[in-house]
Amino acid sequence: MGKLEGRTAIVTGAGRGLGKQIAIKYAEEGANLAICARSLDRLAETERLCREAGAEVLSFVCDVTKIDQMEAFVAATAEKFGGIDILYNNAMATTCGHKHFEDHTQEDFDMFYQSGLMSSFHMMRLCFPWLKKSGHGKVICVGSGAGVEGQFGMTAYGAIKEATRAMARTAAREWGKYNINVNTINPGAITDFYYEQLEKMPEGERDPMKLGFNPTIIGRIGDAYEDIAPVAVFLASEDSRHITGQTIMAEGGVTMIP
């Protein structure tokens, strides 16, 4: 029996990258999946792989900057599966690249604010009644070492990721009495997007550091499926029932929080 057997998990932004790998791993651990992206085409492979792992899957078109679409997604999930046990807040716009502080724009902040912080807030708010009813609700948000460390060139991205982390801690404090655990993963890993970028580089020059990754102290860059998804399973399972309001730095030691 998988660690998530019989649970229903929502994973936003599951069409590719980290969200896709989390959804697949959740399916392999017995969860049923509600996955969303801005088009069904993006979700086709994720849905197929989750079904092959034995999961029931709801694929839903949802732009997480639109409240009405998030409302419809959560309602459809609860109707299909009879409830919601796990929310993995993955969706967020891609970064605007590395920019000096003074070169950032209002548009950069607005993009991350709406697609990252506010989408996580609304998904948490909408799922709350179902997580409460579940009796063992789990929420996982996604942070970044870019915010914790104040990494060069990541002003807007890092600021929004830190705001998301702060919001998760407040929710953990308020929702603990309902047996809802809220934690944050700060992941450092190669996803399919980055593998594609590496493939475009000349042979012999395929260095993840050129894509903005920081050197790890364990000598290798993490993989989304092998290194991050198991942490996401742990935080979604009863193994983590005594952990809430925490940030798990799954980065190979790049960032260490004292």
pLDDT, one tens digit per residue, over 25-34 is 999 999 999 9
Residue at 2 is within a domain:
no
Q: How far apart are CA 180 and CA 72, in angstroms?
A: 23
SS3 155: helix
What is the per-residue pLDDT for 151? Answer: 85
Q: How far apart are CA 200 and CA 207, in angstroms?
A: 11
Q: What are the φ and ψ backbone dihedral angles of 66, each rounded to 5 degrees? A: -115, 115
User: Taking a C-beta distance cutoff of 8 angstroms, is the pair 82, 76 a contact?
Assistant: no
For the residues 11-28, what does the mean pLDDT come to? 96
The model's confidence at residue 212, banded by pLDDT at 50, 70 and 90, is: low
Q: Which of 47, 72, 46 is nearest to 57 (CA)?
A: 47
Residue at 137 is within a domain:
yes
pTM for this prediction: 0.93
Residue at 257 is within a domain:
no
Q: Tens digit of pLDDT for each residue in 61-76? A: 999 999 999 999 999 9
Number of domains in the chain: 1
- Indicate the range of 69-78, 147-156, 244-253 predicted with least confidence: 147-156
**Residues assigned a catalytic role:** 157
Residue at 203 is within a domain:
no
Q: Which of 168, 249, 163 is nearest to 214 (CA)?
A: 249
Strand partners, 59: 35
The model's confidence at residue 94, banded by pLDDT at 50, 70 and 90, is: confident
Provide the Cα torsion 231, 237, 240, 241; round to 10°: 160
Residue 173 has pLDDT above 80, yes or no: yes
Residue at 258 is within a domain:
no
What is the span of the domain harbouring residue 93?
Answer: 8-194+224-245
Q: List, edge to edge, every strand of the sheet that includes 57-61.
A: 57-61, 32-37, 8-11, 86-89, 138-142, 181-187, 247-250
CATH of the domain at 88: 3.40.50.720
Residue at 235 is within a domain:
yes
The model's confidence at residue 98, banded by pLDDT at 50, 70 and 90, is: confident
